[in-house]
Structure 1
Amino acid sequence: MKIAENDPINVSNQLLQSLLEEIIQVQAFKGKWALIRAKLSDLHSQLADFADFPASTCNPLCLDLLHSISHSLSDAVFLARKCQTPNLTEGKLRTQSDVDSVLAKLDRHVKDSDILIKSGVLQGSVVSGGSSSKREAVRAESRNLITRLQIGSNEGKNSAMDSLLVLLQEDDKNVMIAVAQGVVPVLVRLLDSSSLEMKEKTVAAISRVSMVDSSKHVLIAEGLLLLNHLLRVLESGSGFAKEKACVALQALSFSKENARAIGSRGGISSLLEICQAGTPGSQAFAAGVLRNLAVFEEIGENFIEENAVLVLVGLAASGTALAQENAIAPPVRSLEVAVDLLRHLASSQVIAEKLVSDLFIVRLVEVLNCGVLAVRIAAAMAVYELGFNTKTRKEMGECGVIIPLIEMLDGKAVEDREAAGKALSRLVLYAGNKRIFRKDERGIVSTVQLLDPLIQNLDKKYPVSILASVVHSKKCRKQIIAAGACVHLKKLVEMNIDGAKKLLDGLGRRKFWGVFARP
């Protein structure tokens, strides 16, 4: 291929040959110049590769690199001439430092050239119209940005990161394309950046990738390296960076191995600090990570050691107040996640006892009256988990959880009603709670309504269990039959619902069959 005199590739090649000629005559630091000569051999091959790409001298990224190479080679030629005499005019130490600097620059150029050649951005393919061409355009842009993130100046890398964030935010398909082009390993390496701004933007990009389910496995494959970087951000990053790190950690904390790593590296402590002092948004995401960790019993001890229960109860308390005032989305979200997390923790008897002693039950009553559906459901499930023994059932009943749960039985959402029924089925196992339930006529009527087979996606065993606990009362039997339970129960028996036949028999033996059940 014929190359014009002003072609940057030709200029670099000429300077490279000049440098090789000068190196032959050097007298000082011969060992270091031998290393430089080896770098020049690699660089010579790469310049030949650049020449094979017709579009290389039109590519801004390639042009910038070629100009940098020419500049470094020119400096090296001048320095090699200085080293051709034993008397170093600028002193041995200064000259040695200059030689080391040239070696480092050439090493960087070789690595950058290798990245650029392998990236595919020099192919110069033309994109025509159509949806497939749009995807190809995104692929080409992704390759270009990924390459720019690895070579050139810090300013150029920062600009490339801005463009990448815009690309990723457009839609999930762009995220998948960028991931397929290899963006994740590059982002992970950039987390080592000395620039806080670049590190913050990198965390934001990683968090965006973590929000696309089909791309999560690529993040998980980065293992402890990525986890350690994100945990360091939790400790010392900005509020924005911490929030984005929590988003990414939510996607990574579903596996037991990662959850164990987060727990053993101080992650729980950092997450709890965010729950105490972070923004409402970051509190919700931090609590979400903790909720994922709480699924694994072996990590439960870490929660006790870090005094997590007190922090989360406090978060639930503050979130309840905000949710009752105006139902602002972030506070409600943090409240929902905090309550749901505590519900998971309550499945451990040791932690459940800690919850009871830290006045969580009192907070539950407030949360059960919250106007936000998801929060009420999480609270009702927490009641169910906490009702593992007579003592906690008694305490919850005395604190007033029965009445709000009865009110939830009439909720519009099936999930609301089922959660309340599930909680009550466990609470009424304590005689004192059974008496509270029987006194409120709404409880039996609403529970009977849940037996209706037409109400789908609702587990009938919970209302059956509640009614079975009070069927021995003559007054309650009348109420159950008058509310139409027999008609529903006959259908449930045919459906083989647990406990339905026994409850129906319990009603029949009392000779109330003469009372016509309401359809």
Structure 2
Amino acid sequence: MKSEMKEKEEEISLCQALELFDSVISSSYSIQFFPNKWQLIRDKLEQLRCGLTAVADGNDFNINSELSILLQAAARTANEARVLAHRSSDESYNGGKLLLRSDLDVVTAKLELHIKQLTEVYASGIVRHSQAIILSRPSAGSSREDMRFYVKDLFSRLKIGDLEMRTRALAALNDILQEDEKYVRIVVAEMADGVSLLVRLLEAGDMGIAEEALLAVSAIAGFDAFRGALVTADAVVPLIQILETGSELGKERAAQALKKLTENSDNAWSVAAQGGVTTLLKICGDVDSSGELIRSACGILKSLSSVDEIKRFMLEEGAVPIFMRLSRSKEEVSQIQAIEFLAAIACGDDAIKEVVVKAGVVESLIKVLDPNSHYSSKAREAALRASDACCFSSSTSMNLLMASGFLHRVLFFLRNGEISVQESALKVASRLCGLSEEAKKAMGDAGFIPELAKLLDARSFEVRELAAEAICGMVSIQRNRRKFIQDDQNVNRILQLLNLEEKTVTKKFLLPALMSLVESSSGRKKIMASEYVKHLEKLAEADVTVAKKIVKKLSSNRFLSTLTGIWSS
């Protein structure tokens, strides 16, 4: 009797309790029966262990403290779990399977109660949270188990910690999520309620906590494979709420997370269904919104516009005038985003193109393309792409564009632009050559031919390809052929590139261009006078159809004696 009383009086230390928790957790992994119940018990034991460790440093665990009472109760429950672990390992179940199942449920409920009590101790202010310790981050090359252990420790603190503890745990979590995808995968795939907990923290009521949680959510949203987990956890709702009522930093981070989420068009409806489109348009139309926030909002709306029904709703909500104002913004990044958005909604929809042009997009584009303005290369590229998307399919829009000096601006950047802008200008020139006879004539008169011919010598295969395509279109017009042939080097360039050994340039545009040139007497003369005509002959000998047709064209004239045997094959 005395020994029993003595045993009751003995108090287990924190260190002994933690060792007990570790022992039960470790031994439970080998149990094959009731695996789901044992996984739940392990999770709760780890949560308790982390929570008690977090408040250990500097706190009073004497026998009279509420914390010590909780520690003793948790240790007794852990002992019960250890006994159940032995029973679960014994196939006889020592009392029956149903009784064992019931006992496991009882232990689980007790552990849940202890966690709740520990949370209440935190809330009471009894413990000194400022001394609570965050475990050291695993070193590079640590095992998966060490990484998982660290993440579970952080989540335990997020669940039971006070404001300061949660803030510190979130900061540590964000560090690892930003640096290593493995940690993101652990949070999403191996933490039973990891994503749900982060989403709940967005609604915790404290904006500081929400701002830190937004970083974690944004890190997860950065991976296409994990975005579905955020949508399933209903992350969209609090993200939009923060966009509407959060702090400036909170709004920016919420917008960044939504931008990543909506890169997958499958998530577009989740945002639209929660009123996100209206909120985002309001942000873009608000002169007080930060540039960072507007940029992210523009990106989200651009992604959402890929869904026709959502795009129509945007138009009804006044998206075009909002973005037209932004396209004239003094902040270039927002201006670029606005131009790209207008191009995105106009692409493939003639009715919207007409609305955008009537709203004044041509004036905005011409302003950005003014060589005397101080816009960046990125802005020029966006304007060139948008001119194609918004204006090239309508003769009315094209006439307005041409009348505004568009061709001279394109030619300027073809001659003088940085490489990226020059390539964008070349793409536009190539597109224009396929639009109409009037466009080809206007380009010839403006002086495009010499610049396009020079680009046939460019290092870049794509540049040579686009230049060849543009020239092919240009020389289909008689007066452009005359301009092209006037320079002996132009014909030489084409023939030189027809070399069979030249593997880095396409011949699909060069041969049709030559076919146009042989329509004129001067063109035939220049071809026959070139030292590179042999390349054409070899192509004909190789049974290239267009080359054979060109040679036959030449053979029908006085050059018959020069070329023998080729066209008869």
Query: Structure 1's 517 and 191: CA in aligned 2 closer, same or farther, altered over 3 A?
Result: farther
**Match of residue 162 from structure 1:** 171
Does structure 1 retain, via aligned residues, the 8 Å contact 2:302–2:344? Answer: yes
Query: Structure 1's 430 and 512: CA in aligned 2 closer, same or farther, altered over 3 A?
Result: same
Output the CA distance in 2 between the equivalents of 1:4 and 1:440. Answer: 101
Output the CA distance in 2 between the equivalents of 1:462 and 1:67. Answer: 81
After TM superposition, list the pairs within 5 Å mapping 1:198-237 onto structure 2.
198-211=209-222, 213=223, 216-223=224-231, 225-237=234-246
**Match of residue 384 from structure 2:** 380
Partner amino acid, structure 2, of 1:375: A
After TM superposition, list the pairs within 5 Å mapping 1:463-478 onto structure 2.
464-465=469-470, 468-469=473-474, 471-474=476-479, 477-478=482-483
Q: Does 1:60 align with 2:54?
A: yes
Q: Does 1:311 align with 2:315?
A: no
Output the CA distance in 2 between the equivalents of 1:285 and 1:57. Answer: 38
Query: Structure 1's 481 and 299: CA in aligned 2 closer, same or farther, altered over 3 A?
Result: farther
After TM superposition, list the pairs within 5 Å mapping 1:13-28 onto structure 2.
none
Partner amino acid, structure 1, of 2:310: I
Output the CA distance in 1 between the equivalents of 2:531 and 2:364. Answer: 39
CA shift digits 1:268-306 (9 cap, x unpaired):
222222223321111111111122122333322022112
User: How far apart are 1:111 and its partner, in Å?
Assistant: 5.4
Query: Structure 1's 302 and 161: CA in aligned 2 closer, same or farther, altered over 3 A?
Result: same
Of residues 276, 291, 294, the one that matches 1:280 is 291
Query: Structure 1's 148 and 276: CA in aligned 2 closer, same or farther, altered over 3 A?
Result: same
Aligned residue for 1:145, secondary structure, equals helix
**Match of residue 266 from structure 1:** 275
Q: Does 1:458 align with 2:463?
A: yes
User: How far apart are 1:149 and its partner, in Å?
Assistant: 0.7
Does structure 2 retain, via aligned residues, the 8 Å contact 1:451–1:485? Answer: no
After TM superposition, list the pairs within 5 Å mapping 1:116-515 onto structure 2.
131-133=140-142, 138-169=147-178, 175=184, 178-179=187-188, 182=191, 183-211=194-222, 213=223, 216-223=224-231, 225-277=234-286, 278-318=289-329, 321-322=330-331, 331-332=332-333, 334-347=334-347, 348-369=349-370, 371-386=375-390, 387-410=392-415, 415-427=420-432, 429-430=435-436, 433-441=439-447, 443-452=448-457, 454-458=459-463, 460-461=465-466, 464-465=469-470, 468-469=473-474, 471-474=476-479, 477-479=482-484, 482=487, 484-490=489-495, 491=497, 497-513=507-523, 514-515=525-526
Output the CA distance in 2 between the equivalents of 1:471 and 1:431. Answer: 9
Partner amino acid, structure 1, of 2:491: C
Partner amino acid, structure 2, of 1:355: V
Query: Structure 1's 220 and 128: CA in aligned 2 closer, same or farther, altered over 3 A?
Result: closer
Query: Structure 1's 284 and 50: CA in aligned 2 closer, same or farther, altered over 3 A?
Result: closer
Does structure 1 retain, via aligned residues, the 8 Å contact 2:218–2:253? Answer: yes
CA shift digits 1:324-374 (9 cap, x unpaired):
xxxxxxx43x33332222221121222211110110111011223464222
Partner amino acid, structure 2, of 1:198: I
Query: Structure 1's 230 and 517: CA in aligned 2 closer, same or farther, altered over 3 A?
Result: farther
Query: Structure 1's 371 and 171: CA in aligned 2 closer, same or farther, altered over 3 A?
Result: farther
User: How far apart are 1:453 and its partner, in Å?
Assistant: 6.7
User: How far apart are 1:378 and its partner, in Å?
Assistant: 1.8
After TM superposition, list the pairs within 5 Å mapping 1:37-52 onto structure 2.
none
Query: Structure 1's 160 and 58: CA in aligned 2 closer, same or farther, altered over 3 A?
Result: closer
Query: Structure 1's 389 and 466: CA in aligned 2 closer, same or farther, altered over 3 A?
Result: farther
Does structure 1 retain, via aligned residues, the 8 Å contact 2:118–2:160? Answer: no
**Match of residue 86 from structure 1:** none
Output the CA distance in 2 between the equivalents of 1:398 and 1:432. Answer: 13
Partner amino acid, structure 2, of 1:314: R
CA shift digits 1:139-182 (9 cap, x unpaired):
44322111111123344323322333344445656555555553
The 10-residue stretch of structure 1 (283-292 or 455-464) with the greater mean CA deviation from structure 2: 455-464
Does structure 1 retain, via aligned residues, the 8 Å contact 2:12–2:72? Answer: no
Does structure 2 retain, via aligned residues, the 8 Å contact 1:483–1:518? Answer: no
Partner amino acid, structure 2, of 1:505: M
Query: Structure 1's 6 and 392: CA in aligned 2 closer, same or farther, altered over 3 A?
Result: same
Output the CA distance in 2 between the equivalents of 1:316 and 1:373. Answer: 16
Query: Structure 1's 256 and 58: CA in aligned 2 closer, same or farther, altered over 3 A?
Result: closer
Larger Rg: 2
Partner amino acid, structure 2, of 1:503: A
Output the CA distance in 2 between the equivalents of 1:361 and 1:337. Answer: 16
Query: Structure 1's 261 and 296: CA in aligned 2 closer, same or farther, altered over 3 A?
Result: same
Aligned residue for 2:522, secondary structure, equals coil
Percent same amino acid at aligned positions?
23
Output the CA distance in 2 between the equivalents of 1:131 and 1:161. Answer: 20
Does structure 1 retain, via aligned residues, the 8 Å contact 2:474–2:480? Answer: no
Query: Structure 1's 393 and 155: CA in aligned 2 closer, same or farther, altered over 3 A?
Result: same
Query: Structure 1's 467 and 480: CA in aligned 2 closer, same or farther, altered over 3 A?
Result: farther
Output the CA distance in 2 between the equivalents of 1:391 and 1:272. Answer: 29
Query: Structure 1's 389 and 191: CA in aligned 2 closer, same or farther, altered over 3 A?
Result: same
Aligned residue for 1:409, secondary structure, equals helix
Does structure 2 retain, via aligned residues, the 8 Å contact 1:203–1:241? Answer: yes
Does structure 2 retain, via aligned residues, the 8 Å contact 1:69–1:109? Answer: no
Aligned residue for 2:462, secondary structure, equals coil
Aligned residue for 1:133, secondary structure, equals coil
Q: How many residues align?
A: 429
Output the CA distance in 2 between the equivalents of 1:157 and 1:129. Answer: 20
Partner amino acid, structure 2, of 1:194: G
**Match of residue 123 from structure 1:** none
Does structure 2 retain, via aligned residues, the 8 Å contact 1:336–1:378? Answer: yes
Output the CA distance in 1 between the equivalents of 2:69 and 2:140. Answer: 41
Output the CA distance in 2 between the equivalents of 1:230 and 1:336. Answer: 25
Does structure 1 retain, via aligned residues, the 8 Å contact 2:158–2:169? Answer: yes
Alignment RMSD: 4.3
Output the CA distance in 2 between the equivalents of 1:392 and 1:56. Answer: 67
